[in-house]
Structures are given as structure tokens and as C-alpha cells.
Structure 1
Amino acid sequence: MTLLGPADVRQLAERLGIRPTKQLGQNFVHDPNTVRRIVRAAELAPDDLVLEVGPGLGSLTLALLEHGNAVCAVEIDPPLAAALPETVARHLPEQAERLTVIAGDALRTDLSAVKPTALVANLPYNVAVPVVLHLLATVPSLRRGLVMVQKEVADRLTAGPGSRTYGVPSVKLAWYATARQAGKVPASVFWPVPNVESGLVSFAALDEPRAADRAGTFAVIDAAFAQRRKTLRAALAGWAGGPVEAERILRAAGVDPRLRGEQLTVEDFTRIASQRGTADAPG
């Protein structure tokens, strides 16, 4: 079974007339050991249907198929989407039937009918957070995932309350799943070589979806971190209808109005959202 090495990646890109673009965040992995490590870290079950966003030239796709999993790959670049089945047929013909390719934008394509159970992807740095959160919101069959993202993004996604990197991505991912960092990836395994280090983020969806109002909770999160240096009493004033009402809501939720957003858990934000409009409620 042959995976793509540095020479394979460059030759394939040249044959397809592909010039990696910053606009699409294209940095192609060319190291077989790295993609195999990613697949191992994903801890896939034999029956997992893997969703891969941005397969590019197919390095990670081949490693996933080599592992024995069926793969649904979503690729926004039409030439890359068209070439992927041919690449798999050439390098791993016995697994070619396990690959499905969708040419489109993962942020605009309805993938719920595909029913993937795991997300494994090398995500473009500029859309990594929106893609992960969008898929968790719209594809309920997803139970686990491992994504390679910019190290700074990995830090944000996995940060806990009180951390300097804790913010909107951290809290919103925590709404859907538990997450942890699963290793670093050096820039040298990519072509072209990026100016940043990459990191792996592993996540597992909660056993039961939260029953609270997601849109309402996310509105509180956005407001709290829009002015993260301000206390919650001040930061939530616009959302609540004034600082006095913000303080009432916070105290009703059991949250100190003098705290800042980075000190709160997703459960805290959920309680705050639930108290809006309860001024006349009994008790």
C-alpha cells in the first residue's frame, strides 16, 4: 500500500496544474508517517464512516482508507475533487470503492444525510473553527473527531476557563463536545511549508445533546467576549438591556457580576441565558 511522499505530492500537483493558494489555505501533507500518526490518534472504530474536509491531493485520504474506514471527502476546489478518486484508484485500488467525494463547500453543503460518525481532517487555518462548529451543529451523527489546525487555533479550541487563550471557540466547542490536544505537527511535513506550527485536536461529542437554548447561550458568549476586559455586568449590558438588568440576570444565575467572561464555564453561560426575561417570574 503506497501513500504519497514529497515527490508524489509535487508531481501530482504539477500534473493537475495546482498552485497552492493562501485563499484556500492549501498546505499539503507529504509525509506518510504523519498521516498514519493522525489516523492512529483519531482512534477510529472499524465501522466509523469518516468525514474528511479539504482532502487536497489525498495524503490523509489514503491513510484513512489504508486503515480500513470508508471515507466521505468534501473538497471545495473542483480540480482536486475530480482528481481524488483517480489518485486513490492508482495508489490503493482495493479500497477505491470505500471513497465518496463531494465537490463543494463544507460550510454550505448539507452533510446530515451522509451520516458520518467521525471527522478527520487537515483544516485550512482560516476556516477551521467555523467548520468544526458548523459540522457539530448540523451533522448530529458525528460522535468523535481529530482535526489538524494551526497550533494557535488548537490552543483556543482546547483552553479551559481562566486561560488567556480561553474564548468563544473554547466555550462553543465545549457546548458540543469534550476536547483535548493530541500532539503537534511540524511545518516541515507540509508543502508549501507554512509559517506556523500545527496541532491536533481530538474531540468527543457529549453523550446527550444539551437541552438548553443554544442560540440564546451563544448570544451571551459572544457578548461576554466581545469586550473581554470588561466585567460581565458591563460586557452584557447591551445584550441584557442595561447594566442593572445584566446584574440582575447574573445574580439570578448565581454568577458574580464582577467576573469576566474567561472565568466562566459553558454551564455558567447556559444559566445566564436561561434567566433573561425572568424578572417577573415567581421566586
Structure 2
Amino acid sequence: MDFALLLVIAVAVTGVGYAADALYFRSSRKRAVGNYLNGDQRSALDSEVIAKLEKEPLWAEYSRSFFPVLLLVLVLRSFLVEPFQIPSGSMLPTLKIGDFILVNKFTYGIRLPVTNTRVLELNEPERGDSMVFRFPEDTRLNFIKRVVGLPGDRLRYENKVLYINGKPAPQQFVAALPAGNPERKLLKETLGDVEHEIYNSLEPGQNMREVVVPEGHYFVMGDNRDHSNDSRYWGFVSEELIVGKAFAVWMHWEGWSSLPDFSDVRLIK
């Protein structure tokens, strides 16, 4: 089940419990204590009886404790910043497997949790953004790719070069990879105002005929160009599927066999 849906349900359940206790059951406990103190029968056990009458039921205690925390997490995660972990190498060399990233949830507009419906329009994705979105073929999955095509753009990919509206995206050779990976080379590519690094294989690649990006959609590609499942294979990303813009790596953790690494904290180009 979607974590966002679980979080919304948890907030709703604890919120109802918190409100019910605050508006009714708490005052009922106070009335019970008052009735007891006004009674004729008194004993040395008064303090124990009063404590029992005042004691919150377990559900009320849990609601009071967890509701504010869960509500804060829901607001932060839904409208401000959400963390994600990179599961694949499709965005190498920009993002490595095991990188933990932060995603700005409001830069492209405020969206409701679960439904992802945009209720407040702010900015639109720009060419070169590292964007998180729901995978069009399975919206339960979140993908991260780089925005290369905006609505109305004409795009084609030929001989490892991306052409946007008939012009090649500038590329600059940086280096061949270290021994053990001689089939790849590192290049710098410029998309709009964003200069970022990409990997290209030395083996022949698959070309893509020219396509036109429809209105309300975006064309995305991974920086690891020959090892990325992206718009070249499954099409465009609808505006309705956008989650947010990735802006920082805050931790790297490859798995339980290693310790989290905070030495490579950085902004994402």
C-alpha cells in the first residue's frame, strides 16, 4: 500500500481519537472524579481511586502522543520536502545507487497527498531539472530522471547526441572511466542553464526518431544514457504524475553491510 495513504489514514485515526478525547471523554473523566469527591463514602484509598478515574485509556494516550508527530510528518512530506533513496544506476554519475536525496515538493506547485492533485500552481519544470515523478506504467513507483524536453519541443536522439528543436545539446568530453569500465566515457552536457555530467557507452546505441512533446507533458532521460529506462522507451511524463524537484544528496548508504556515509553531502545539478 502507498505510504502516503497509510500516513493519511494514521493521521485521520489519531486525529479523531485526539479530538474525541479532548471534546468529550476527558471532561467525562473529570466529572467522574468530581462526583466521587462529592460523595459521602471516603477512604484512605481516595488517591488510588481518583488516579484510576483520571487515567487515560490507551487509545486516548496513543492518539495524544502520535497525532501531532504524524501530522507534522504529513505536512512536511506532502507539501515541503520528501526523502527518497536511489535504487538504480540510471542517473550515474549524478546520483549513485544508495544515495538518499531530498525532493522539493512545492517548487512545481502544491499537491494533495495520495491523489497528487495540484491545488496551487507555482513553477513549471525547466530543462535540466532532476525531477521525481510517478512512473507512467506503474504509478506506485517513483522514478527520477532529467527533464530534457518541455511541452512543444521537438526531440531526437542520434549517435549519442540529443537534439532539441534541431540543435544538438552541447557536449564536452571529460574523461574515460578508470580501468574496468573502458566501454564508457564521461562527458559534460548543457541543457538550458544546467551543466551536468553524463555517461555514454562506446558501443553503438539506439537512435530515436524525432518526437514532439505534447502540452502538459515532459520528456525525461537518465544521465547514464545507455543504461536508463526513460521516455525513449515508454513515452512522456504527464504533469499529473510530477512529484517534485530533487535538490540535494544528504546521505549515502549502500545497505546493512555498511555504515551510512555523510561525507558526500551535495546539491544536485
Q: Assess same fold via TM > 0.5.
A: no
Higher helix proportion (structure 1 or 2): 1
**TM-score w.r.t. length of structure 1:** 0.27
Higher strand proportion (structure 1 or 2): 2
Larger Rg belongs to = 2
**TM-score w.r.t. length of structure 2:** 0.28
